[in-house]
Structure 1
Amino acid sequence: MAEYINPNALGDLEENVVSINRVTKVVKGGRRLRFAALVIVGDKNGHVGYGTGKAQEVPEAIRKAVEDAKRHLVEVPTVGTTIPHDVLGVDGGGKVLLKPASEGSGVAAGGSTRPIMELAGVADVTAKSLGSSTAVNVVRATFDALTNLKEAKVVAALRGVDLGQ
C-alpha cells in the first residue's frame, strides 16, 4: 500500500468536481434522494488524490469528497513535464492508457483523466480511455496507472543495474 501523504504539509490544494450524481434509495414511503460527488484534489506539483462523498445536499457531498480525496493522495513520478513511461491502468470496467508526450504537446486527455493530469502537474501526456466511460471507473483506472508508474532509478535499483549517469 502507498505511504500516507499529509495534505497539510503540501500547502494549498486545488479542487475539481468531476461529477455530481443524484442517487435514490427506494423505501416504503417513496424515494430517498441523495447526491454523490466525485472530486479530484492536487497541488500541481506531483501530488493528486480523488475522493467520493454522499449527502442529502450537494455542498455537503462535495465537502465530504474533498476530505476523502485529501486522505487518499498519491505521488506521481515525473520526468520533466511528462510521465516516465507508458502505463495501463485497470479498475473494474475502466481501462486508461497513459503515454508520455514531447514537451509542449499539452494534456491530450478527455473526460475525467484531464483534471487528474492537470492537478498532478503533468503538463505533457497522452491518454486514452479504452473501457467503461463511467467517471468513477475512469478516475480509479487513471489512479491505478499513476500508482504503477516508476522512475528509472527505482527500476534500476530493483533490477540491480547501474544507470551509469
Structure 2
Amino acid sequence: MSDATTQNVENEVTEQAAATAPVEREAREPRRGGRERNPNRDRGSRDAEKSQFLERVVTINRVSKVVKGGRRFSFTALVVVGDGNGLVGVGYGKAREVPLAISKGVEEAKRNFFRVPRTGSSIPHPVQGEAAAGVVLLRPAAAGTGVIAGGPVRAVLECAGIHDVLSKSLGSSNTINIVHATVQALKQLEEPRAVAARRGLDFDQVAPARLIRAEADAAAAAKVGA
C-alpha cells in the first residue's frame, strides 16, 4: 500500500473519531452532574406534610407603608393549623404576596402548637379567655350539638378537634382579638384527673357527671366485648 493511500485512510479515521466524539460527550453529559433530580418527589413530600394538618385562613388584610416614592402594599394573613386531634396553633404572616403571607402564617402556627385537653368531642369544663379587648366564653355541649360559634372561633375549635361546644363572644368583634382570646381559653383547660390530683380529691368529686357516665358506659361495653 502506498504512502498516499495510508495517509488518506488515517485522515478518514481521524475525521470519523472527531465526528463521533462530541456525540459521545453529549450522551455522557447528563451523568456528569450525577443522578437527575425528580421535582415531583419534593412536591409529594410537601403534599403529604400538608395533608397531615387542617389549615384555616381566618382573614387576609392589605396593609400599606408610606415611603418616599409612594405607598408600598403588602398582605397579612391570620392562619389556624391543627391536626384535628387536640393539637392546634395560630400564626400571623406578612408578605408582598398573598400565598407567601399564608405560607409564613402556616409556619408560625406550627411553631405555636399546643395540646388541648378534651373529653370526647367536647371540652372538660366552661372557660373564658381574654386577649386585648376580645373575650370568648366556651361551654361544654352534649354529643351531636355541633360547634355553635362564629367564623374565627369555629376555625380554631375545628382544627383542635372539638366538635360539640357552645361559645359566645363578649368583647371586641376584631377577628384577631377573637382568635387569640379563643386560644387563651383553650390553654386554660385542664384534665379532670389533673385537677383532682392537684386538689387532693377523688376523680368522681371533680369530673362532670357526663364524663363519669361516659367512662362507665365505655367500661361496660368493654366488659361485654370481653
TM-score (norm 1): 0.91
Q: Tell me the CA shift for residue 111 of structure 1.
A: 2.1
2:184 aligned with 1:144: yes
Q: Provide the residue aligned with 1:62 in structure 2.
A: 102
> What amino acid is aligned across from residue 113 of structure 1 in structure 2?
V
Q: Aligned to 2:145, what secondary structure does the other structure show?
A: coil
Q: Aligned to 1:85, what secondary structure does the other structure show?
A: coil
Q: Provide the residue aligned with 1:156 in structure 2.
A: 196
Equivalent position to 1:97, from 137, 147, 165 = 137
Q: Tell me the CA shift for residue 157 of structure 1.
A: 1.3
**What do the CA deviations read for 1:95-130 (whole angstroms, capped 9, x no partner)?**
000000111000000020001111111110011111
Q: What count of residue pairs does the alignment treat as equivalent?
A: 156
Q: Tell me the CA shift for residue 48 of structure 1.
A: 0.8
The structure carrying a bigger strand percent of its residues is 1
Distance across 1 between alignment mates of 2:118 and 2:151: 22
Q: Tell me the CA shift for residue 28 of structure 1.
A: 2.0
Distance across 1 between alignment mates of 2:192 and 2:105: 34
Q: Aligned to 1:44, what secondary structure does the other structure show?
A: coil
CA RMSD of aligned residues (A): 1.5
Q: Tell me the CA shift for residue 138 of structure 1.
A: 0.5
Q: Tell me the CA shift for residue 141 of structure 1.
A: 0.2
Q: Aligned to 1:84, what secondary structure does the other structure show?
A: coil
Equivalent position to 2:174, from 122, 125, 134 = 134
Q: Aligned to 2:107, what secondary structure does the other structure show?
A: helix
User: Mapping of 1:17-32 within 5 angstroms?
Assistant: 17-32=57-72
Distance across 1 between alignment mates of 2:104 and 2:203: 44
> What amino acid is aligned across from residue 73 of structure 1 in structure 2?
F
TM-score (norm 2): 0.67
Q: Tell me the CA shift for residue 19 of structure 1.
A: 0.5
Q: Aligned to 2:56, what secondary structure does the other structure show?
A: strand
Equivalent position to 1:40, from 80, 99, 109 = 80
Q: Provide the residue aligned with 1:6 in structure 2.
A: none
Greater relative contact order (Cα < 8 A, sep 6+): 1
Distance across 1 between alignment mates of 2:185 and 2:101: 26
Q: Tell me the CA shift for residue 74 of structure 1.
A: 1.2
Distance across 1 between alignment mates of 2:75 and 2:162: 31
Q: Tell me the CA shift for residue 72 of structure 1.
A: 0.3
**Which protein shows a greater Rg?**
2
Distance across 2 between alignment mates of 1:155 and 1:163: 9
Identity of aligned residues (%): 56
> What amino acid is aligned across from residue 96 of structure 2 in structure 1?
Q
Unpaired segments ≥5 residues, structure 1: 1-8
> What amino acid is aligned across from residue 129 of structure 1 in structure 2?
S
Q: Provide the residue aligned with 1:80 in structure 2.
A: 120
